[in-house]
Amino acid sequence: MYKIYREISNSAKFPLAISRGSEKQRFNKAKAMTNLVAKKMDSYNSNIWNVKCLNYFLHETVDKYKINFDILPEINEKYYGSVGTKLDVISYNSIRDFMKNKTGIELPNIPIFKKPCIHIKLNGFEIKIKLKKDGATIDDKYTAIHEIRHFFDHLLNPKLSTNRSSDIFKYPKEYSAKFESIYMGVYKKFTEEYKIKSMKEFKKNIKKEMSVLPCELRIVLLQGIRSRLKLENNAYSHELRARCKNPIKNMRRIIHNYLFVKNNLQIKAKLNFVNEYLEELIAAERKNISKNNH
């Protein structure tokens, strides 16, 4: 496997003074920042959100930290929006080559340093939001809130961002197809037609697919999946709370979103499964390491 060196630029994260705290505390900060931007947008015009105004208020919030981001129109008709990462990805023939290029240090010419490696640097974000035909009006302010929450979660939890983006590079080519099938199978199909028939069946299928992977790869894969599920849970929950502030106008979408998350996505049930499976695999790996050391 490749050795992965991750680097998070200061332009893709808040300083430690802002992001310090437990994961729950950081999520609460992201929630507060999202609400602040939404409040400013509603103060300007609560019915029609303009993308230029959103761009202004986001810059107003993060510019003092020199955060690198762009707001772009979502052109994929299947989605209302997304938050992508701006990554620099450089492959090196060996860890020795990487260290020499990065630090000027010559490592010993021994097998452990001859492994190929990849340097991944997270530099910023692209926020994509669906716009109306005029190219200026945001199609649905609540899905915009969903993406804003993703943005602030990324800035306050940068390791979750790199987990989502770079784990695929850890997998040898012979596992890449299986990796994609499992990783996307847990939460892809975030669409209307996808519905899990039963969590029992879902767990059985995921474990069956993962059985062909070495334990180490299963652990890394599940950690990446857990990161994504946490961020999606935050965004969907935030969007639903925002819609509930105007229940009469949004009743149809409130019911739709609630049932979609509860029945189709089942994010919390999947998170519980991933956490339990991770505990099981980590315990087995530790037992195996202990056995080999004796």
* Residue 189 confidence class, pLDDT cut points 50, 70, 90: very low
Looking at 9-18, 36-45, 60-69, 184-193, which range is the least confident one? 184-193
Contacts of 100 (CB under 8 A, 6+ apart): 106, 107
Are 31 and 156 members of one domain? yes
At residue 240, does pLDDT exceed 80? yes
**Total of domains in the chain:** 2
* pTM, entire model: 0.86
Cβ of 23: how many Cβ atoms within 10 Å? Answer: 11
**Which ranges in the chain belong to alpha helices (H)?**
16-19, 23-45, 51-62, 95-103, 141-156, 158-166, 173-187, 199-210, 215-244, 247-259, 267-292
Domain boundary among 170, 196, 230: 170
Q: 180 lies in which domain range?
A: 171-294
Domain boundary among 139, 170, 201: 170
Task: Indicate the burial class of 243 (C-beta count within 10 angstroms; 0-12, 13-18, 19 or more).
Answer: buried
Residue type, 211: S
At residue 245, does pLDDT exceed 80? yes
Are 179 and 151 members of one domain? no
> Inter-axis angle of helices 23-45 and 215-244, to 10 degrees?
30
Per cent of the chain over pLDDT 90 is: 47
Are 16 and 157 members of one domain? yes
Query: What's the mean per-residue pLDDT of the chain?
Result: 86
CA distances from 54 to 36, 129, 157, 253, 263 (A): 12, 11, 22, 23, 32
Beta carbons of 121 and 10 less than 8 angstroms apart: no
What one-character DSSP code corresponds to residue 265? I
d(CA 141, CA 46): 9
Are 162 and 214 members of one domain? no
Are 234 and 161 members of one domain? no
Are 151 and 186 members of one domain? no
Are 204 and 267 members of one domain? yes
d(CA 13, CA 251): 36
CA distances from 121 to 42, 84, 161 (A): 35, 14, 11
Are 161 and 179 members of one domain? no
pLDDT at 167: 53
Backbone angles phi, psi at 124, to 5 degrees: 170, -160
Are 87 and 207 members of one domain? no
- Model pLDDT for residues 15-56, shown as the tens digit of each residue: 999 999 999 999 999 999 999 999 999 999 988 999 999 999
